[in-house]
A and B are shown apart, each in its own frame.
Chain A
């Protein structure tokens, strides 16, 4: 058996492969409930992470010619990423379980050697109470780090703290 190649940091110059179009998952004409997912990434000192690459992937709605399911955004001078996508629906879980609507998130940056993986859920979704992943996180304050909050009718905010008090829950992938 072979062993998977080791990860290395994306470094500070990854923008050479950036394409701002990647931040809009509706650019190929996707139809549905269009939302903007925004968030600010801060480090253990509370400073904004201004050189991060934030990737999202969602299994719902299903990928099609019009909806790639994948997007990427750099963080700006305030550490903020911004992605336009379709609001996901429930995703099948293991056995007969349903997962609450969620978006998978990778955080890549200088000083992050292997990607940090987490998820954005949506505050107020009924399925959140029975979601298998959220159910594994006992402390409400920890669970809340995965809940995007509405800002107006179409914008959802999920701030991400890499380290320290109110550190985001990361998932072993």
Chain B
């Protein structure tokens, strides 16, 4: 098959390097040899498709067992497009986050902050035909980590996205505007290009904000675009 169309390489500086010494956990986990270049084949250009029948959506993290979670209720809305601005329709997005106190419902999280019986912290949504998604949650708290002295992660929501190919797979984090911890965070700063970093920060959006209910944030994600020409010809 000579008609496989792969995905474009990353724009310079737009993606982090795994060799980021300021993030201590990378030191023994980043390969020392360069990755080998290989044009995308069917394996990389195609990817899994997820059905809401097998993966039921959960677009409201703010209520568990019929009870409201503690914290500041938020609505996050955004659009998933590719680098050409085309919508990525019907794609699955997984989200997970700490509770309002900055604690994950996870056995490895030993932060001395309270768990909330009415907050689990995982969600799953699908984009619509135009690439839009939306979920309701509570604003996650900052939490300490042991990377360096007095280290705190900025408020963030983890995102897992798939898109049309295995090459478009993306795990990222959404941050909040005006967070003073962003300036100090080595994970955020692992992205070399400032503009690329800033795109990880959601923005407050009054149009998404629901009166008497929840603050609204807008967070768009761009997945890699298709190469203009088929590979390997």
Using a CB–CB cutoff of 8 Å, the interface residues on chain A facing chain B are 1-17, 28, 43-45, 47, 49, 51, 55, 57-59, 63, 68-70, 91-96, 99, 102, 104, 106, 108-117, 119, 132-133, 136-137, 162-164, 167-173
Contacts and interface: CB of A to CB of B under 8 A. Distances in A.
A117 B44 CA distance: 10
Instruction: Say whether chain A's binding surface is mostly helix, strand, loop, or mixed.
Output: loop
B229 interface: no
A115 B169 contact: yes
Given A3-B14, A6-B199, 14 more contacts: A2-B85, A5-B223, A8-B16, A13-B96, A17-B96, A51-B108, A57-B43, A112-B30, A113-B17, A113-B26, A113-B190, A119-B43, A171-B35, A173-B167
Interface in B26-63: 26-44, 46-50, 54
Main secondary structure of the interface of B (DSSP, over half): loop
B214 interface: no
B29 A109 contact: yes
Contact of A44 (B10, B28, B82): B28
A54 B187 CA distance: 21
B172 interface: yes
B16 A7 contact: yes
B96 A4 contact: no
Determine the interface band of chain B, counting residues with CB < 8 A from chain A: 35 or more
A167 B32 contact: yes
A121 B190 CA distance: 32
